[in-house]
């Protein structure tokens, strides 16, 4: 079953925190979101618990919102994933629309596991034959035992379609794809 938390981009908006306890609670929320949702946890050897321990002193020392955001961003930088970072409440520049046209792709991680990247966002919904493309990628994925689905939007914009709406026709021989 698809985890609803995976639908959309992993965007961590770090709200301004007043007290050290609020800042540590925000750090814990960011850490937990990555630990249980981010695709890197299934595909890399990152010791995310150790990353949390390294981030705690910087969060405790933070006195301003800017310092607090920098401390959380330092934690997220350990993922080495440009799509996961602290975002401003009001971005100063519009999202880079050039990235919105990112390509849907299936990449093997090992002999048993693959990651299917579906850059959900407005750019993908304009793709001709979106449903056929999705079905073909899921058909290719049946050669793997495990599939990680990455639905993060490169632009941060929400998709005008849902994966759940597009997948029902992708059932070969009346069975759901694994």
Domain range annotation of the chain: 10-87, 97-174
Distance CA 94, CA 76 (A): 22
Name which of 66, 85, 95 is nearest 12 in CA terms: 85
Bridge partner list, 113: 146
Q: So what's the pLDDT on residue 74? A: 93
State both tokens at 54.
């390294």
Residue 155 CB contacts under 8 Å (≥ 6 apart), including other chains:
95, 96, 97, 99, 100, 121, 122, 123
**Mean pLDDT: which of 6-15, 72-81, 133-142, 148-157 is highest?**
72-81
State both tokens at 93.
């520049």
Q: So what's the pLDDT on residue 98? A: 42
Q: How confident is the model at residue 171 (pLDDT cuts 50, 70, 90)?
A: low
Q: So what's the pLDDT on residue 120? A: 73
pTM over cut 0.85: no
Q: Please provide the size of the chain in residues.
A: 178
Return the exposure string of 94-130: e unless at least 16 CB atoms fall within 10 Å of the residue's CB, then b: eeeeebbebebebeebeeeebbbbbbbbbbbeeeeee
Distance CA 123, CA 159 (A): 8
Please compute the mean of the pLDDT values over residues 134-156 and round it to a whole number. Answer: 81
Cα 120 vs. chain centroid, distance in angstroms? 11
φ, ψ (nearest 5 deg) of residue 42: -95, -15
175 close to 106: Cβ distance less than 8 angstroms: no
**Between residues 106 and 12, which one has the greater pLDDT?**
106
pLDDT at 49 over 80: yes
């Amino acid at each position: 079953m698809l985890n609803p938390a995976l639908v959309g981009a992993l965007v961590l908006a770090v709200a301004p925190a007043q007290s050290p306890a609020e800042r540590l609670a925000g750090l814990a929320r960011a850490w937990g979101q990555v630990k249980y949702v981010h695709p890197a946890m299934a595909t890399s050897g990152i010791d995310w618990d150790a990353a949390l321990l390294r981030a705690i002193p910087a969060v405790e020392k933070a006195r301003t919102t800017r310092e607090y955001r920098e401390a959380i961003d330092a934690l997220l930088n350990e993922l080495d994933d440009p799509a996961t970072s602290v975002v401003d409440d009001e971005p100063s520049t519009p999202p880079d629309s050039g990235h919105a046209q990112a390509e849907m792709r299936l990449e093997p991680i090992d002999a048993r596991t693959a990651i299917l990247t579906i850059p959900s966002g407005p750019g993908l919904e304009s793709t001709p034959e979106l449903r056929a493309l999705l079905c073909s990628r899921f058909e290719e994925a049946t050669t793997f035992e495990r599939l990680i689905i990455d639905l993060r939007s490169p632009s941060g914009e929400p998709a005008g379609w849902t994966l759940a709406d597009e997948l029902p026709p992708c059932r070969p021989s009346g069975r759901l794809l694994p």
